[in-house]
A and B are shown apart, each in its own frame.
Chain A
Amino acid sequence: MVITSDTWLPSHEELTVPELELSSGVLRAGAHHFGKYCDFQSKEFMLCWREEKDPRKCINEGKEVTNCGFEFFGEVKKHCMDSFTKYWNCIDNAGTRMHYDRCRETQAAFDKCVLANLKQERPDLGYFSKVRVHHTKRPKPVEPSHKYPEPTPDMPDFKNEPMPDSVKYGNRFFFN
């Protein structure tokens, strides 16, 4: 493997955090509200991932995303357990792709509950598909310069050098 013993890797303790163990139906049902609730953390993490091109450097950002997920789904569980359960059960059975447009009634109830308790409206259509500008405090990473091996030295310029004594009959080439 290309990971050598000199390569720094985070330990298992650093990487072990409580993971959000939710099924796809729940994630899909809560996606829009979760995305808006954890907008900052998500953008921070995705920007870090895109910029650094190194999963080791974005562990803390990733942990914050998961932490925020716990916070959001905990809030939903505390306040909107009923409507959310109805909604995700509907989503779970809404076709092979979990179509959103088959569950508008339960969605309206869930949105109402979220608006009342979490003070958050459902984001507009295409909110996550648009380009979202993010201002971060993390310094911009500098691309490490590529280090080349020592170049082979050039040949000396023979034209300007005096003719060695060992050459008796001058240059072999006529036009030189």
Chain B
Amino acid sequence: MAGSGGNEFRQEMPRSGGYQDIHWAHRSRPRRFGRYSGVVYFGSFLGLTGVAMWGFTGVFQKRRDFEVEMQDGRIAVAPLLLAEQQRMFLKQLRSNRDEEEELMKDVANWKVGHLYNEPVYHNLSNVWIKPAIEEFYAHNKRQDMLNRAYEKNRLH
């Protein structure tokens, strides 16, 4: 525009006297919440929560006592059940070993509890190794093993 025609260049300026102030600070001032100050609200919140927690201690204690009594009942009979379970377990292991002996008697170079004549574990000090569940259920159906392994996950 500068070099065209005879129009003189004129810079736009604020109007004479300037603009009015914008009163933003006045308009956006935070309003008070409710009737009382924040200290009252926070204080009453904390106070009520404290009273409620104190009131619930008896309930929690009762609940804990209940669980402890149930747990006592389980722990008390655990040795009885465990003893029976271990006897059954050992009996089954013996049966499994006899079964394997009978089953693999025609296989040349087969030792019971080995893969041919290679022992499964390096066990020179002869400690007890609990067989894996696949070995324990080797003569059963696979589904039987899975049922036992995931027994806790099933709905009864």
- Chain A residues proximal to chain B, CB less than 8 Å: 1-7, 9-12, 15-17, 19-20, 27-28, 31-32, 34-36, 38, 41-42, 45-46, 49, 53-56, 58-59, 61-63, 65-66, 69, 97, 99-101, 123, 125-129, 144-147
Contacts and interface: CB of A to CB of B under 8 A. Distances in A.
Contacts of A36: 76
Give the 10 A-B residue pairs with the shortest CB-CB distance, closest first. Answer: A35-B76, A4-B113, A62-B83, A144-B125, A54-B128, A147-B124, A42-B79, A31-B73, A128-B75, A31-B76
A65 B83 contact: yes
B131 A55 contact: no
B97 A5 contact: yes
A3 B77 contact: no
A126 B68 contact: yes
B31 interface: no
Contacts of B114: 4
A129 B73 contact: no
Given A1-B138, A32-B76, A66 B125 contact: no
Interface size classification for chain B? 35 or more
Contacts of A11: 94
A45 B96 CA distance: 26
15 contacts: A1-B138, A4-B113, A20-B84, A38-B79, A46-B79, A46-B82, A54-B128, A55-B90, A59-B87, A62-B82, A62-B84, A66-B80, A69-B80, A101-B69, A144-B126
Contacts, number: 150
Contacts of A9: 90, 93-94, 97
B91 interface: yes
Interface in B95-137: 96-97, 100-101, 111-114, 119-121, 124-129, 131-132, 135-136
A62 B74 CA distance: 17
Contacts of A69: 80
B71 interface: yes
B111 A4 contact: yes
Given A56-B128, A125-B65, A146-B125, A1 B96 contact: yes
Given A1-B100, A144-B127, A146-B124, 14 more contacts: A1-B131, A1-B135, A1-B136, A2-B132, A3-B112, A5-B111, A31-B73, A53-B127, A53-B128, A54-B127, A55-B86, A55-B90, A125-B65, A128-B72
